[in-house]
Amino acid sequence: MKKKFINTAFAAALILLSASCKKEFLEQKDPNAIELATSFRTPDDVLSAVNGIYQSLRSSNNIGENSGLWTDERSDDTGRNDNQSNAGEPFQFGDFSILPSNTYLKSHWVSLYNTVARANTVLSNIDKVTFADANIKQQYTAEAKFLRAIAYFHLVRTWGDVPLVTKQLITPEEVAENTFRTKQAAVYAQIVADLKDALNSNLPNLQTGAGIGRTSKAAINATLGQVYLTMATTQDQANRQSNLNDAKTYLLAAYNVRTFGALSTIPYTDVFDVSKKATCPELIWQIVNKQGDPTYSSSIAANNQATGENINSLKVVTGVGGNVTPDLIKDYETNDPRMAFSVKFANASAVRDYFITKFRDTSPAASALGYGGNDWILIRYADVILMLAEVSNLLGDTAGAIQYLDMVRARAGVPLYAVASATPAYSAKYPTLKLAILHERRVELAFEHHRWFDLLRTFTTEELVNYFKSKAQADFGIAKLANFSTKDRYYPIPFDEVKLDPVKMYQNEGYK
């Protein structure tokens, strides 16, 4: 049932056609053509379509709250270490034994391209609609371009070269013509172009009230900064300096529209407080969930809770919860209050392990069914500040980098960098400012799906292999660190996509 859904969704999106689609399907007239031609008649039709792009992000196969399989479980933060989860396709991600035939991997690919397809559909049809207010059309166009850029940013970092499609594909012939991998440089150029177009719009600096959950200039600037930082550290070495300068420019633009003074004025726990999610000034962009709603509520609090515990949710669970590696536990500094808030040791005989407590909703409104109200935070100011520390350090501005780093450490209540780096324990683990910033991002943003991409930015492929191989196997449980190699910087292209055209949809190095 699930495989059929994936192939149908992909074909209907008309981005790529799965090899398992039947020939007679390809020979049929596209059933969507007439529907789409008549679906874009009013501005409200366009709004519904734009909302559909946002809706696609919610999926666990996309970048929603339960999408940690592609990121956190790939990193050194979380995994699957219980008897029921240490086998099968999900385990392949953290075990670095993933196969191109992995159906979870294919689901991620399909979902991200579904987001692209929805954005392309809006952008290809919006000119058919008459808008009494040109500002509304500009807003919807900007949102669609931003969301397309977000999807491609995840695709290119995850798979490297990927098919680049920027228009609605109507016929099987058009699909076939666009079924080829495009070099990363061109994909990044499109991401930057989309984000700059979105930025040159009438979107607000920050969203408030009913607009929360939609993009803003702060979100676009923060994403542009991250994109340029990623290009500078992983891609375009010839333009490294200019990319770093651009990264700092856009990150500062995001930072400078904040509505608070010092980060320390916002308690860390407020960031994740369900009752403050609409008013916390640290939040820049989030996926909004509705407490108590069976369809649009959050399940992350209950999903992370371990047997015998009730700190996250009123829901009674029987599993091990959100597994945390000992490697991460050992990376928290002594008395760091973020550890006490983010993780807890479960004492039930069936668990006896750390589980994630960062996301909580024990309100009666969430009920014993676990219908939580947690919003999924995609961008927040501590992330922006630490990226500013990262880019400042890369530009040789050590003092500036430490200043940004200390903003986060001061809010956390841990010693500032000058004090911490003078202690043997800290300096031995983080002998360089680069490693200190990476550490701070790890403990500040734990379980928010940043860690894997942070590692990719910080280390070359060879350095990343050495980084993982230097860790203790005992701190990763059943997942085998020995499996990690240079191939693991990227995921394999799903088997069905390679089968479409083994030449144009060539497999990533190291996978068969």
Neighbouring residues of 477: CB distance < 8 A, sequence distance ≥ 6: 79, 81, 86, 325, 326
CA atoms 476, 477, 482, 487: torsion sign: negative
Show the CA angle centred on residue 369, arms to residues 367 and 372, nearest 5°: 65
At residue 489, does pLDDT exceed 70?
A: yes
Q: Which of 374, 381, 385, 378 is nearest to 448 (CA)?
A: 378
Q: Give the integer Cα–Cα distance in Å for 195 and 227.
A: 10
In DSSP terms, which residues pair with 298 in a beta bridge? 372
pLDDT tens string 175-193 = 999 999 999 999 999 999 9
Axis-axis angle for helices 461-469, 451-458 (nearest 10): 120
- Quick one: DSSP state of residue 493? P
Q: Give the integer Cα–Cα distance in Å for 206 and 201.
A: 13
Q: Which of 62, 379, 345 is nearest to 195 (CA)?
A: 379
Q: Give the integer Cα–Cα distance in Å for 385 and 411.
A: 12
Lowest mean pLDDT among 32-46, 204-218, 278-292, 336-350: 32-46
Confidence at residue 477, expressed as pLDDT on a 0 to 100 scale: 87
Confidence at residue 237, expressed as pLDDT on a 0 to 100 scale: 86
Looking up tokens 């947690």 gives 374
For residue 34 the two structure tokens come to 């007439």
Q: Give the integer Cα–Cα distance in Å for 315 and 302.
A: 6
Question: What is the pLDDT averaged over residues 107-116?
Answer: 98
| Cβ count near 307 (within 10 Å) | 17
CA atoms 140, 142, 143, 147: torsion sign: positive
For residue 481 the two structure tokens come to 């660190």
What domains can you pick out in the chain, each with its CATH number?
Answer: 1-203 (1.25.40.390)
At residue 500, does pLDDT exceed 70?
A: yes
The dihedrals phi and psi of 276, each to the nearest 5 degrees, come to: -120, 10
Give the best-scoring range by mean pLDDT among 2-6, 33-37, 421-425.
421-425
Say if strands 283-287 and 343-346 run parallel, antiparallel, or are unpaired.
Answer: unpaired
Question: What is the pLDDT averaged over residues 136-159?
Answer: 98
Confidence at residue 13, expressed as pLDDT on a 0 to 100 scale: 47
Axis-axis angle for helices 184-199, 217-234 (nearest 10): 160
Q: Give the integer Cα–Cα distance in Å for 505 and 512.
A: 13
Confidence at residue 420, expressed as pLDDT on a 0 to 100 scale: 98
At residue 10, does pLDDT exceed 60?
A: no
Q: Give the integer Cα–Cα distance in Å for 273 and 290.
A: 14
Confidence at residue 79, expressed as pLDDT on a 0 to 100 scale: 87
For residue 150 the two structure tokens come to 């977000």
At residue 271, does pLDDT exceed 70?
A: yes
- Model confidence at 495, pLDDT cuts 50, 70, 90, reads very high
Confidence at residue 22, expressed as pLDDT on a 0 to 100 scale: 31
Q: Give the integer Cα–Cα distance in Å for 67 and 57.
A: 10
Cα torsion 19, 23, 24, 28 to 10°: value is 70
R_g of the chain, CA atoms, integer Å: 22
At residue 26, does pLDDT exceed 60?
A: no
Contact 313, 303 (CB under 8 A): no
Burial code (b: 16+ CB inside 10 Å, e: under 16) for 100-126 equals bebebbbbbbbbbbbbbbbbbbbbbbb
Q: Give the integer Cα–Cα distance in Å for 452 and 96.
A: 13
Contact 18, 10 (CB under 8 A): yes
At residue 475, does pLDDT exceed 80?
A: yes
Show the CA angle centred on residue 348, arms to residues 346 and 352, nearest 5°: 50
CA atoms 349, 354, 356, 357: torsion sign: positive
Q: Give the integer Cα–Cα distance in Å for 185 and 187.
A: 5
Length of the chain: 512
Question: What is the pLDDT averaged over residues 74-99?
Answer: 83
pLDDT tens string 88-99 = 899 999 999 999
